[in-house]
Chain A
């Protein structure tokens, strides 16, 4: 006999717990679904930042939030892309811009025209043809603090002050009726794979139909024996550093990710400060040495509030029995490519689509886990691409370049290297324009082009190139400055 799910218990902290609570409360707003959060102590420091791709805007829409207003209210800043510097010495820095469309000429991907022109001597780099990259480099935004979004094919990503953001989401969730339960989970009573009850230290306990593990990498609701698949073999950085620097004189429209001898450091401008995140290999660079080098690497003179941590990228099976792990409890991703909230977001949209219909039997788990695995594995591939295509000479980077790649990434590099061909994938976050930006940015230029390109007369092609550059310049001029967020009221 089936029984519907009426009680959800979310055990966790910070963005994972509160975004999950708010999303589920909103999805079942007019049903009798009860959502409770067993709130664990926050792990956020004053310096923490969440860096997110534009897809977070889609989640905000689902939550009834306006992205521009969220940024303005929490001291965040929009970013139209990420600039990568010093990953390939001798090559200029490149910007991965958040374009939402691919440009085509007569239904043929513009990339193909660029590859051909490049082989014939064109000097203009790929990211000069990206509207988002051009706008990012000129400190523009696709979003304004008053919540108005520009109707152009670029989307704003997010630099969020972590504490202020969680505070806003949490208040919103409580306002909608999410309940908070205080107490430390002492015992998890199980029946096979299923959780039956959570017992707290003070003797109290709660039961639910569905348990959400939003406790981050500790994954406290997961069966301790359940295997965690580590990606340590691919991602050599095992230390992280988080810090703050003063706000920049004018807000740039992008993040800046700089490679150094033992890892990378990212600069994420916010309205009233600049967040810094670094990931590095402790064998190549000690904590104090990295901290001391930061001003030089990032160009930020005064670095404060530094904290250090460890990181081990990898995944675990997200849905087992009546327990679903979301965010960091399901997948620990490197902090490259603005994916801080991504595992959570993917988990939430999948959970809402496949929300269990029967409290006693949840065969949805299999489809859910397969979808999540695709997404996180392709994100892993995307992040790994930066390492695989790096051109640096230090031992850390030489080793990163030499590792055996996952077959999906190896195939992707082959296909792109031959003709800029996409790998056909289902359930993938980053789109072809994202891949092109990163692959070309790191110097993987296709050996040949699509013969259909030659259907378009050469002078027409040249005209399109000039027209595209002129249009980008014009569209960039019409965009509001990212700096508008600096003066935004708190």
Chain B
């Protein structure tokens, strides 16, 4: 029997503890021992955080009970993201976790919708999406399994306090044998022959050896960058935002089952509703606004009293070209950064952790495992990148330089082609691996004014009156069913009310 692999995780935070929970929760102690080094002196980035539905797969795999996790992290439900003033000032659309309408006669719904529109029967495509209608009315309930039922056509994710989530995972991991060491890494020793990381020297003087080192040290990239000089591919030319200010406020107004993103003059503002407070922030480009102006703008935009001073965060969009280098694997912000516009941060961490499990090495690391890991992670980053750029690029705003710059910038060919084909004929990209699915692309294209000039010719097989009758029936079914759902606030209170005094009772 081989000895267990010694895994050392550097850095707590969401990435560190998700990795720790997965390795200690899923692998046996005869396979690996896990040690996590973190320092209470180093802050983590997590504030209020929004997630994607895939998060549930991670929690299930690790063995986390949803209602308990939600209670501990003051979590709420999320059916999508509302985008305000993106594309043009005054616009509002929701990117839902769910479909728009149903295909008829082998033709995707949006082609039929486009046909009806062009024949003079205009309608709002949001009325045919269950997730959007429920969001607009602040309702929530779990989707059902029966695929025939209209309330099976959506999915959900969470808003939670990422700091509390990390704490929750810490307790979970330590109960499963993970050893936590309080301390900071002072230096990294490399094996002179292999170039692998041999050991870490801590501030305390202790030397920590290991077989596999997971870099969860955040933007600093203590191991992958500072020790191994892993190259970084910069995407600032497409995603110009490089700073953020985050500030919590008191809970106010209805508890929305969606995240809100409002485009501002030099970036965008997030609003993430938790049970006990609301997370807010301004993601901006320092090339287009000063820090002071950004702070004033954010504080002036809040819908409730601030609970703290705004906290500054700096970043650079891009990714490590090889997240797995030698015996070091960067997970989370150490492996790359994409702004949280589509809540992909935890998702990308999750992908890295799950991919690591599948490619978990033995004592001798087969390079094919690193190749497989890096290929999977790269694909995810590339996919998300194009989708984010679309939000910036497809705009007709004339009020500020940032939006002019983004509209005129040269975007990746892979995105150009997608936009051109959607404009030409409403064709929506679809792929097997990676985000995002066709409803996501559709909602952003239409929401930001990229409109199809034609629809699939097969849509003409159906009589227009039949199409319209089916569309009307669908809209009515959705509306009636949504009205029977509990409010989001009520649902959260009944299902997972947190330990902190809840102010979820607004609605």
Chain A residues at the B interface, C-beta cutoff of 8 Å: 2, 4-5, 27-31, 33, 352, 354-355, 357-358, 361, 363-364, 366-367, 411, 414-415, 417-419, 421, 423-426, 447-448, 450-452, 454-455
Contacts and interface: CB of A to CB of B under 8 A. Distances in A.
B458 A355 contact: yes
Contacts of B77: none
B366 A27 contact: no
A197 to B, nearest CB: 23
Contact of A28 (B357, B358, B461): B461
Interface in B445-474: 453-458, 460-462
Nearest to B376: A424
B433 interface: yes
Interface stretch (B25-33, B258-266, B340-348): B25-33
B424 interface: yes
Contacts of B357: 451-452
A228 to B, nearest CB: 25
Given A447-B366, A451-B31, A31 B460 contact: yes
Given A363-B421, A448-B362, A452-B27, 13 more contacts: A30-B460, A355-B456, A363-B420, A364-B421, A364-B424, A364-B425, A367-B427, A418-B369, A418-B372, A421-B358, A424-B379, A450-B360, A455-B26
A415 B371 contact: yes
B136 interface: no
Given A352-B458, A426-B431, A447-B366, A419 B421 contact: no
A367 B362 contact: no
| Interface of A: prevailing SS | loop
A454 B458 contact: no
Contacts of A30: 460-462
A243 B103 CA distance: 46
A30 B458 CA distance: 9
12 contacts: A4-B457, A5-B457, A30-B460, A31-B458, A31-B460, A357-B424, A358-B454, A364-B424, A419-B369, A424-B433, A426-B433, A454-B28
A418 B457 contact: no
B417 interface: yes
B110 to A, nearest CB: 14
A162 B362 CA distance: 52
Contacts of B360: 450-451
B3 interface: no
Nearest to B108: A353
Contacts of B457: 4-5, 28, 31, 33, 355, 357
B368 interface: yes
B376 to A, nearest CB: 6
8 closest cross-chain pairs (CB), A and B: A418-B368, A357-B454, A30-B461, A357-B425, A418-B366, A414-B368, A31-B460, A451-B360
Contact of A354 (B26, B427, B432, B460): B427
Nearest to B357: A452
Contacts of A426: 431-433
Nearest to A358: B454
Given A28-B458, A426-B432, A454-B28, A367 B368 contact: no
Contacts of A33: 457
Nearest to A417: B368
Contacts of A447: 366
Interface residues of B, number: 37
B357 to A, nearest CB: 6
A406 B366 CA distance: 22
A27 B457 CA distance: 9
Contacts of A423: 375
Given A28-B461, A367-B427, A451-B27, A357 B368 contact: no
Contact of B417 (A27, A367, A425): A367
A29 B457 CA distance: 11
Nearest to B27: A451
B326 to A, nearest CB: 17
B329 to A, nearest CB: 15
Interface string B413-450: 00001001100110100011100000000000000000
B359 interface: yes
A31 B461 CA distance: 6
A360 B359 CA distance: 50
B455 A357 contact: yes
Interface string B332-363: 00000000000000000000000001111010
Contacts of B456: 355, 357
A164 B187 CA distance: 76
Contacts of B427: 354, 364, 367
Contacts of A352: 458
B379 A421 contact: no
Contacts of A4: 457
Contacts of B27: 451-452, 455
B176 to A, nearest CB: 13
A448 B358 CA distance: 12
A1 to B, nearest CB: 11
A367 B372 contact: no
Contact of B458 (A27, A367, A421): A27
